[in-house]
Amino acid sequence: MELLTLVIILALTLSAGLFIQAWPLRHQPQPSYSQRIPFLGGGTPDTHAWNRYHIRYYPMTLLLIAFEMEMMFMYPWAVVFVEKGMMAVMEMGMFLAILSVGIVYAWREGVFRWQ
């Protein structure tokens, strides 16, 4: 009940704050179209900026995920390793081999060369 009261008080305070902030600006006109076009120092664009853009650190993030998955699997594996014995070692070996293929491929593609 206290939590609900607190949430209501917070919501009301936030609403009142937004209202007080917006009230003096109620007569302010919307920015004109000529003001809203992208700033190009007086130039104009040909196309939309909505385009496919290559983030250059993308392969690096994939590599991070490869290593991260490895570690995520290794922690629970370490818990059951004593119980399962050799079978666990083989399973982990297969998992690491598959991940390594990805890492070796990424290496060949030049992921480790930071631009």
Report the distance separating Cα 63 and Cα 105, nearest Å.
Answer: 10
Pick from 4, 31, 83, 108: which binds other proteins (CB under 8 A)? 31
Judged by CB under 8 A, the residue of 5, 26, 27, 33 near other proteins is: 33
Q: Does 43 bind other proteins (CB under 8 A)?
A: yes
Q: Which of residues 53-92 bind other proteins (CB under 8 A)?
A: 53-54, 56
Contacts of 102 (CB under 8 A, 6+ apart): 66
> Residue 97, Cα to own-chain centre: how many angstroms?
27
Tell me whether residue 5 or residue 115 sits nearer to other proteins (CB atom). 115
Quick one: which of 104, 98, 102, 106 has its CA closest to 60? Answer: 106
Q: How far is the CB of 29 from other proteins (least distance, A)?
A: 7
Give the CA distances from residue 90 to residues 11, 37, 62, 82, in Å, rounded to whole numbers and listed in that order: 56, 60, 25, 13
- Minimum Å gap between C-beta 70 and other proteins is 27
Q: Which residues bind other proteins (CB under 8 A)?
A: 24, 28-29, 31-35, 37-54, 56
